[in-house]
Amino acid sequence: QVQLVESGGGLVQPGGSLRLSCAASGFRLASYSVGWFRLAPGKEREGVSCISSSGGSTDYAESVKGRFTISIDNAKNTVYLQMNSLKPEDTANYYCARLKAPFCTIATMRIYDYWGQGTQVTVSS
């Protein structure tokens, strides 16, 4: 059974850090690209970051460049999103999703076929 399970969300003060995890089961992440997306109240879901199946290519939304880092641990079948210098506008429910392709993109979500349930990130003082 294919599953993606996000964890690591929580409440953090502005300027703080969190590391989100996306644990995959039922398939090997090394054969898929993975994207992180977020949905905030009153806003559309937006792409945050992605990593290609080889791990050799990554992409980031302009709003998170220099603050977020995506990585993959194939031995643990897990993708991570390290989030530093968090801002209140980063508050959202964060989802990971898989893409059967050698490339990754955050420009469209429709090509991702399996999604996790999300983990809530709240940045507030």
Tokens 């507030």 found at: 124
SS3 state at 114: strand
Per-position pLDDT tens, the chain of length 125: 999 999 999 999 999 999 999 999 999 998 999 999 999 999 999 999 999 988 789 999 999 999 999 999 999 999 999 999 999 999 999 999 999 998 999 999 999 999 999 999 999 99
Amino acid (one-letter) located at 97: A
From the list 67, 75, 90, the residue with the least C-alpha distance to 23 is 75
